[in-house]
Structure 1
């Protein structure tokens, strides 16, 4: 099969198109012929080595965390899927590889593709959908009437987070450029701030939840808009000791992470707010719940651009530019 591989950590190196053996299927896995994949910031962070402490991958590595396609083989103990099923998934860490023609995935990480989505649309959902679900439903336990600040509302995570937060009954504030105001309002944003000309810290006050996806400076400002007892959940770092424990990292990495998160811990204690880092986990059951919301018309995908498989490096560059509105998709099978 054809696949794009990474041979070392590098911001600048391009992925190499190579021939690899078709993946072997373990007893609890399904083999998926990939129709479409999508590109995430996580792919760029892994490529550059930014997450090498948390996710120490071996090379050569096939990137790609989102997949939609058709099952062509099932393992001997697979009970929930059959050959021919159209599915989508976010493969588990250390089992990624969507920038390829085939991938084997544990059945627990797979869900049936929403009936009302194309393959391209479906491949845009898993990572951002699960990230938002685990942040707002699992960690924040967002309630009706609460106020939530979702940074970068026109991005891949932001577009889905706004829709889920509105479904949960929250009052939603977000940041974006003036050109994207109408789009984020159409998704359900109540308060929209132009990050180029306005300072959200002077506008927002007494928020219950912040979903942080930006830099350290934005995180510090976000802590100041929370009310006492509020929660900040970050998908961009710094990692905290709880996430290090969840990942089962060795003691010396836990020590490193303790010092990386020390500053934000001091700030949260002073303000009587909570901080947690979210490294999203694959979960087919949660993805099936997201599918139900999609099929009910509550959540819809937002896609900026679809690239051909041979344009995979261009797709990564476009995501890296920060200009994408919603998700960038790669069509593997044409």
Structure 2
């Protein structure tokens, strides 16, 4: 089978022919229908996440997978060959960028029924991260003013939709085609971040979901009310700076949780949709990651292995 691998940190990911894996006890074999790309894949490839997610080489990239069960390992109960499923793999193990992936059975959730199976892979990390930010850290509720950065991006597009379902007043930043996308997803206000500092246009924000980092984090403190909360997704925030200004800042470290994943995947049969940027064949994974690194993606880039 084909798999996208690196032989060392800093490698350019390349497609290799490798032996098809077999499920061990408590595992299933999934024929991959979709594998979503994430910024985490770039960080792992560069070696930035070694202290959190050490890997063994050769390493097959990818954590977000949807597909169909083709084989069951010993002691697996409650699942059948042919079941359509979604999972988030342990980042240290990877394995999603391949034609087949071995998945622990306790990490599987049933795929949604109302959207194409490949598309469900786009929610495994991004939607679960957004839900963690919106409900588990920020506890957003009706009437709050919430600023979500990059509302046309992977995490941002889900966070925008989820905050709207909780009846918050949602403001987001975007640019270019993302302005229309953010409006279409239901944002109450959309700010073009290329037109000038967003801080000059906002005040009294209860919660900021920062999916960008860097200078955006510091500027976000300028728009938070006293006692407001900044949730930082890409990197740990400066908690001392926030505290000195009478605000809170928390880092969101996303870990796989099948219960949370089941919740967000279930939403895909409701009012939450996966914002799709494009699909590419597995052989085009290096180009997909370059596109992701350049910051061009509006929504999810999903690899679709073309198995016979």
TM range (shorter): over 0.9
Contact 1:315–1:328 (CA under 8 A) maintained in structure 2: yes
The residue number in structure 2 matching 1:249 is none
In structure 2, stretches of 5+ residues that fail to align are none
How far the C-alpha of 1:25 sits from its partner, in A, is 2.0
How far the C-alpha of 1:53 sits from its partner, in A, is 2.7
Determine the C-alpha separation between the residues in 1 that align with 2:293 and 2:200: 29
The residue number in structure 2 matching 1:6 is 6
Question: Given the superposition, is the C-alpha separation of residues 226 and 77 from structure 1 closer, same or farther in structure 2, using an over 3 Å criterion?
Answer: farther
* Aligned with residue 264 of structure 2, among 264, 271, 290: 290
The residue number in structure 2 matching 1:324 is 297
Q: Tell me how large the CA RMSD over aligned residues is.
A: 1.6
In structure 1, stretches of 5+ residues that fail to align are 239-260
Contact 2:4–2:98 (CA under 8 A) maintained in structure 1: yes
Question: Given the superposition, is the C-alpha separation of residues 273 and 314 from structure 1 closer, same or farther in structure 2, using an over 3 Å criterion?
Answer: same
SS in 2 for 1:142: coil
Determine the C-alpha separation between the residues in 2 that align with 1:62 and 1:140: 34
> Structure 1 residue 142 and structure 2 residue 140: aligned?
yes
The residue number in structure 1 matching 2:130 is 132
The residue number in structure 2 matching 1:314 is 287
> Structure 1 residue 273 and structure 2 residue 233: aligned?
no
Question: Given the superposition, is the C-alpha separation of residues 108 and 205 from structure 1 closer, same or farther in structure 2, using an over 3 Å criterion?
Answer: farther
Question: Given the superposition, is the C-alpha separation of residues 80 and 199 from structure 1 closer, same or farther in structure 2, using an over 3 Å criterion?
Answer: farther
Give me the TM-score of the superposition, normalised by structure 2: 0.94
Give me the TM-score of the superposition, normalised by structure 1: 0.87
The residue number in structure 2 matching 1:216 is 214
* Aligned positions, number: 307
How far the C-alpha of 1:163 sits from its partner, in A, is 0.7
Determine the C-alpha separation between the residues in 2 that align with 1:158 and 1:14: 27
Q: Please list the CA deviations of residues 133-186 of structure 1 after superposition, one character each: whole Å capped at 9, or x if unmatched.
A: 111111111111111111111111111111111011111111111432221111
Contact 1:131–1:280 (CA under 8 A) maintained in structure 2: yes
Name segments (4+ residues, structure 1) moved above 4 Å. none
The residue number in structure 1 matching 2:203 is 205
How far the C-alpha of 1:20 sits from its partner, in A, is 2.5
Contact 1:36–1:333 (CA under 8 A) maintained in structure 2: no
Contact 2:278–2:301 (CA under 8 A) maintained in structure 1: yes
Question: Given the superposition, is the C-alpha separation of residues 225 and 108 from structure 1 closer, same or farther in structure 2, using an over 3 Å criterion?
Answer: farther
Q: Please list the CA deviations of residues 210-267 of structure 1 after superposition, one character each: whole Å capped at 9, or x if unmatched.
A: 11121321111112222222221111112xxxxxxxxxxxxxxxxxxxxxx6xx1221
How far the C-alpha of 1:37 sits from its partner, in A, is 0.7
- Higher fraction of helix: 1
Contact 2:62–2:91 (CA under 8 A) maintained in structure 1: no
Q: Please list the CA deviations of residues 252-289 of structure 1 after superposition, one character each: whole Å capped at 9, or x if unmatched.
A: xxxxxxxxx6xx12212112222221121112222222
Matches within 5 A, 1:11-50: 13-50=11-48
